[in-house]
Amino acid sequence: MALPDGVQYRTFDGEERLATRGEAVYGEPVVDGWRAWDAHRSKLGAMYELGMEPGLDAGDRVLYLGAANGTTASHVADVAGPTYAVEFAARPMRDLLSVAETRGNLFPLLKDARNPETYAHVVENGLDLLVQDVATRGQARVARANQRFLHDDGRLCLAIKARSEDATREPDDVFADALDDLREGYEILDSRRLDPFHADHLAVVATPR
Amino acid sequence: MALPDGVQYRTFDGEERLATRGEAVYGEPVVDGWRAWDAHRSKLGAMYELGMEPGLDAGDRVLYLGAANGTTASHVADVAGPTYAVEFAARPMRDLLSVAETRGNLFPLLKDARNPETYAHVVENGLDLLVQDVATRGQARVARANQRFLHDDGRLCLAIKARSEDATREPDDVFADALDDLREGYEILDSRRLDPFHADHLAVVATPR
Amino acid sequence: MSEGWFAGLATDQVGAERVREGSADAPDAWPDRAIEAGVVTSEEAYYDRLHEATTAAARTAMEERERADDQQVIHAVRAMDDAGRMANELAERVAEWAGSRDAASGTGIDYCRELAATDPAEPADERLVSLAERAIELDDERDALERYVERVVRDAAPNLAALAGPTLAARLLALAGGLDSMAKTSSSTVQVLGAEEALFAHLRGQAPSPKHGVIYVHEYVRGTRPEKRGSAARALAGKLTIAARIDHYAGDRRPSLEADLDERMRRIRTGGEDDGAA
Amino acid sequence: MSEGWFAGLATDQVGAERVREGSADAPDAWPDRAIEAGVVTSEEAYYDRLHEATTAAARTAMEERERADDQQVIHAVRAMDDAGRMANELAERVAEWAGSRDAASGTGIDYCRELAATDPAEPADERLVSLAERAIELDDERDALERYVERVVRDAAPNLAALAGPTLAARLLALAGGLDSMAKTSSSTVQVLGAEEALFAHLRGQAPSPKHGVIYVHEYVRGTRPEKRGSAARALAGKLTIAARIDHYAGDRRPSLEADLDERMRRIRTGGEDDGAA
């Protein structure tokens, strides 16, 4: 498995860790302009650590849904080209804005990912990658609603949180149902549980069908 | 069909009406000591008018459940011997007491017919007739709980109000279910709807089995 | 083994309490048992004593139940007032909050019913809709309590309920502390029940004597023109006091009371007699 | 046909409002469209303008949402107090009524929960059980409102919530009228928020100056011995005022505020400085 240009394993304090080049954001260690990417704080980081291929390439155009305070989105923007970062909550937006301050290619949007019409006049079409990390019910539905932004060979990189879908059911059952929903619009290329980095999360890589 | 001794058709104001001998109670017409028995105000009276044989004979020992203000119980006591009149509500008891004042054979009991233990130390066994007119759910169950007071050839004379059992179902269905319940303790001798005197009521004559 | 109501009864005891308190698993040939036990000497004598015991027992039990009922009415009418007041307060809070979120919001319980039928979009809406539901339930509770009060007060104090209307009757019972107390209260006290503050101010010399308390809500006071209102209140209070006494001591319905009151009011409203002269 | 956020935008306009208010059915190749439309001359210039517009839009929207949130907190904390008070009042009414029917009845919301689990035997029991259910629902509503308040106040005023605890923070916002007003209020006013009556009595010369209002419930006031309580209240009010200002004007979390407060309190509690001397 090859890491994309712009993502490397670097040595921090004697330890090999995933890293990207950019301004530090959340107190992570920086060596020679490379900042450590903490797989415990980032599902996308965990996917790399687990050997998955999320489909991020240097210079890609990306839509990031559920950007939160920008921890992961900052690493994505370090690697990618234009990066649209959608977040619904007002509170984390303050941190996301300071991440965007040093990243001219990161475009923060205080919008609801369930209503793509409210940002389709801003986010361009034909994107290379849709990263989705929303903690809301109906995560597969959100992925399908935002499929319109991807080009035909684009990638969806989705983290599904079982408890957000249905806290009363077994994660495996929840994941199976979510994958079924997803298959109505996407072909699943890979899927894996994110243990031990993130409990009860399933990571999915898919492409539009 | 023969009326029991003590119940006769008499002429009131040119009209033939059912009557018993006793003190007037509720403003009913009285001629020669005979008081008219209004079948519209009494389910037992309606049963006579409709040609049923409720099984009341002169001098009988009777348990009357649901005596209310004593309208019907007064006619029963005019004909019968010892008549135990059970009523649960306090309000009608005042009228029932004034009916009992002129009838030494009428014994009022402020008791719940669903709990026969609370009056089995007063009401004797081996009774000839159990008259039941309670507007409560589970009317067949009440009849079975009070079966202990009847002798083997005694009669149950029961008026079932469909709306008291279940106001949401068809009366015919309610009656069918009540009869089934009743058959666990009684053999049904006769049953008839009390129209036009009382809407949605079924009168049943039965004997212990 | 079960015993009859008469077991061990002395010749001078009626046995009403035994009838009320006793129980047995199964009935028995009680007349025979009583004769065997030497309590009575004949079936006829047995039934005479049974008649005496059952009528006495039924009368006492009935009176106790009615007395207890007036206390239930008091609790229920207070709960009714609580529920009604809280429903309105919550509806006000809902209107205030909803107004901060939607310029087209409304007010009152009806608006709460509208709001409760909507799907909440955000956490704040969830709480707001839930709060509206609490207001509605309290309003429904108030209505259910009113229906209960109306039913029970008609049993516990039928004449008072007929003259005052069931809700006012219940309020008077609550203010007096029960039917028993109200029956022993003077008509002039009944007239100002619920106006205790004004009465105390009067007794301290700080205010005129109040003309009426809670009976003001009765059409015969509120609907009488001001200069006759004192006479109307006095006459109404007099009849209500009589009604309460009949309910307590006799218990039967006396429709003539209403006719008397109607006639008296007709005379007050049409006559020259007014407050100063009365 | 859908238009991009930049449609018709003048060169001196940022376009933040278009980003916030606009919409489109489908995305398009917006950078190309913008160049075609002559809004920008290159893709690089397009993304520069987009960055400016989106960050400005996100900042304004965030600030508006946070401003609105503090108002929601105010409504919610008032509703919470209403629901809590009503739950207790209804529970008292239930206990009083139940006590008239069952000598073994209890009190409080817990008793309401017991009672609600029983099957009503009579009409009065039906009403009583139903009333107990209303009390329980109001108590649950209070708890749900508290959870909502805690969550929202941590977003709307994170530093204030961290220092005061979320419920006290919400009460202070409610008393001040919002984060904006509280940020503009003096520390000495914050100190006595909620003690307005005592303060007015003091201003009329009828009472000593109050040492604290609602901040009394904070462990750092209530848990400080009486002769140091004024100093503690003053120090706490000072830090809370600073926290409110940071929340309003900056918005980031400053964990150092709590450390400062802890240190100041340690000195007040152990030092010789007491109220008279402070």
**pLDDT above 70 for D241:** yes
Query: What is the rounded distance in angstroms from the CA atom of residue A47 to the CA atom of residue D163?
Result: 38
Cα separations in angstroms, D91 against C82, C91, D98, D123: 11, 20, 10, 19
Q: Check whether D1 has a pLDDT greater than 50.
A: no
Question: From CA D6, how far away is CA D32, in angstroms rounded?
Answer: 12
Span A70-114, pLDDT tens digits: 999 999 999 999 999 999 877 688 889 999 999 999 999 999 998
Name the neighbours of C, counting chains with at least 3 Cβ pairs within 8 A. Answer: B, D
Distance from CA of C26 to the nearest CA of D (A): 24
Distance from CA of C180 to the nearest CA of B (A): 17
| Spatial separation of the C-alpha atoms in residues D234 and D94, rounded to whole Å | 43
For chain A, say whether D8 makes contact (Cβ under 8 Å): no
Phi-psi region of C251 (alpha: psi -120 to 50; beta: other; left: phi over 0): left
Nearest CA in chain B to C31: B124
d(CA B196, CA B193): 9
| Backbone dihedral angles phi then psi of residue B168, each to the nearest 5 degrees | -95, -10
- Asked whether residue A133 is marked as a ligand-binding residue, the answer is yes
**Interface touch B107/C51, C-beta < 8 Å:** yes
Instruction: Report pLDDT digits (tens) over A115-146.
Output: 999 999 999 999 999 999 987 778 899 999 99
Chain C positions in Cβ-Cβ contact with residue D148 (cut-off 8 Å): 123-124, 126-127
Which residue in chain A is spatially nearest to D65 when comparing CA positions? Answer: A90
CA distances in angstroms from B2 to B49, B51, D163, listed in the order given = 12, 9, 94
Q: Is A207 annotated as a binding residue?
A: no
DSSP letters, D111-175, are HHHHHHTSPP-SHHHHHHHHHHHHHHHHHHHHHHHHHHHHHHHHHHSHHHHHHH-HHHHHHHHHH
Inform me whether the pLDDT recorded for C36 exceeds 80.
Answer: yes
**How does pLDDT run across A183-193, given as a tens digit for each residue?**
999 999 999 99
Place of tokens 């790399």: A48
Report the chain A residue with the minimal C-alpha distance to residue D27.
Answer: A120
Strand, helix or coil for residue A127: strand
Q: Which long-range contacts (CB under 8 A, 24 or more apart) does C249-255 make?
A: C249/C183, C251/B94, C251/C63, C251/C66, C251/C158, C252/B94, C253/C158, C253/C159, C253/C162, C254/C159, C255/C162
DSSP-assigned letters across all residues of D202-258: HHTTSSPPPS-SGGGGSHHHHTS-HHHHHHHHHHHHHHHHHHHHHHHHT----THHH
What's the pLDDT tens digit per position in B90-100?
A: 768 888 999 99
Helix residue spans in chain C (DSSP H) = 16-21, 30-36, 43-99, 108-116, 123-156, 158-164, 166-176, 179-183, 187-192, 196-203, 219-222, 226-249, 256-270
How distant, in Å, are the alpha carbons of C73, C108, D75, D81, D110 from that of C138? 18, 13, 20, 17, 20
How many beta-carbon pairs below 8 A join chains B and C?
Answer: 93
Cβ distance C28 to B104 less than 8 Å, yes or no, reads no
pLDDT, one tens digit per residue, over C247-265 is 888 777 888 899 999 999 9
As a whole number of angstroms, the distance between CA D182 and CA D67 comes to 12
Contact A104/D2, CB-based, under 8 Å?
no
What tokens appear for D48 in the block?
């520069």
Of A95, A121, A126, nearest to D22 by CB-CB distance is A121
Task: Measure the CA–CA gap between A91 and C51, rounded to whole angstroms.
Answer: 82
Three-state secondary structure string covering C219-250: HHHHCCCHHHHHHHHHHHHHHHHHHHHHHHHC
CA distance C198 to C207: 7
B124 lies within 8 A of chain C by CB? yes
Partner-chain contact D148 C127, CB within 8 Å: yes
In the predicted structure, residue C211 carries a pLDDT above the cut 90: no
pLDDT in tens, C183-197: 999 999 999 898 887
Distance from C-alpha of C184 to C-alpha of C200, rounded to nearest angstrom: 21
Residues in CB range of C155: below 8 A, 6 or more apart: B89, B90, B91, C66, C69
- C-beta of residue D223 within 8 angstroms of C-beta of residue D270: no
* Cβ distance of C100 and D134 shorter than 8 Å: no
pTM, entire model = 0.57
- ipTM > 0.85 (yes/no): no
Measured CA to CA in angstroms, residue B32 lies from B6, C167, D120 at distances of 13, 46, 50
Lowest mean pLDDT among A100-109, C116-125, C139-148: C116-125
Chains B and C touch (3+ CB pairs under 8 A): yes
